[in-house]
Chains A and B, each alone.
Chain A
Amino acid sequence: MANGYWQKLLRVDLSTGARSVEPLAEADLRSFIGGAGLGAEILRRELPPKLPAFDPRNRLIFATGPFQGPAVPGGAKFSIVGISPLSGTFADTAAGASWGISLKEAGYDVLLVEGRSAHPVYIQIIDDRVEIRDARHLMGRDTVETVDAIHGDTGDTRLSVACIGPAGERQVAIACVAVDKHSFGGRCGLGAVMGAKNLKAVAVRGTRKVPVADPGRTQALIKQYQKAAHDAVLRNHFRENGTPGLCETAEGLGDMPIRYWDADVWPEGAKRLGAPNYTKVLQAKPLPCQYCPTGCHRRIRISEPSEYELAGPGPEYETLGMMGTNTLIDDPKAVAKANDIANRLGIDTISAGAMVGFAMQCWEKGWVTSSDTNGLELNWSNPAALIGLVAQIGRREGFGALFAEGTLGAARRIHPDAVETVVHNKGLDYPAHDPRACLSLAPTYVTGTRGACHFRGPCEDVEMGGFFLPEAGITQGTVRFFERANQSYVAVKCQDLGALTCSLVICMFMIDGSEFSLTSQAEIFNAITGWEWGVDKLLEAGERAFTVQRILNVRDGYGAATDVLPKKMRQVATEGFRAGKAIPFEALMQDYYALRGWDESGAPTAATLARLGLTA
Chain B
Amino acid sequence: MRVKVKLLSVFAAHAREDAEGLTAIPEGATVRTLAESLSLPMELVRIITVNGRQVYLDEPLAEGDCIYLFPPALGGG
Contact = CB atoms under 8 A, between A and B. Distances in A.
Nearest to A508: B77
A454 B6 CA distance: 27
Nearest to B47: A465
User: B interface, by DSSP: helix, strand, loop or mixed?
Assistant: loop
Interface in A410-443: 431, 433
B49 A461 contact: no
Interface in B1-58: 6, 8-10, 41, 43-44, 46-47, 49, 52, 54, 56
B9 to A, nearest CB: 4
Contacts of A509: 74-75, 77
A595 B74 CA distance: 27
A477 interface: yes
B73 A316 contact: no
Contact of A513 (B10, B56, B74): B74
B42 to A, nearest CB: 12
Contacts of A241: 9-10
B9 A317 contact: no
A433 B76 contact: yes
Contacts of B73: 246, 249-250, 253, 255, 460-461, 464-466
Contact of A235 (B6, B41, B54, B56): B41
Given A236-B44, A476-B46, A460 B76 contact: yes
Contacts, number: 106
Contact of B77 (A236, A275, A276, A455): A455
Contacts of A454: 76-77
A248 B74 contact: no
Contact of A238 (B6, B41, B46, B74): B74
Q: How large is the interface on A (under 10, 10 to 19, 20 to 34, 35 or more residues)?
A: 35 or more
B76 A253 contact: no
A317 B56 CA distance: 27
A465 B77 contact: no
A466 B75 contact: yes
A579 B68 CA distance: 16
Nearest to B49: A577
A481 B52 CA distance: 11
A318 B75 contact: no
Contact of A512 (B43, B49, B76): B76
Contacts of B41: 235
B74 A252 contact: no
A235 B70 CA distance: 16
Contacts of A5: none
A225 interface: no
A360 B75 CA distance: 29
B64 interface: no
Contacts of A249: 8-9, 47, 70-73
Contacts of A236: 43-44, 72, 74
Contacts of A253: 47, 70, 73
B76 A466 contact: yes
B70 A252 contact: yes
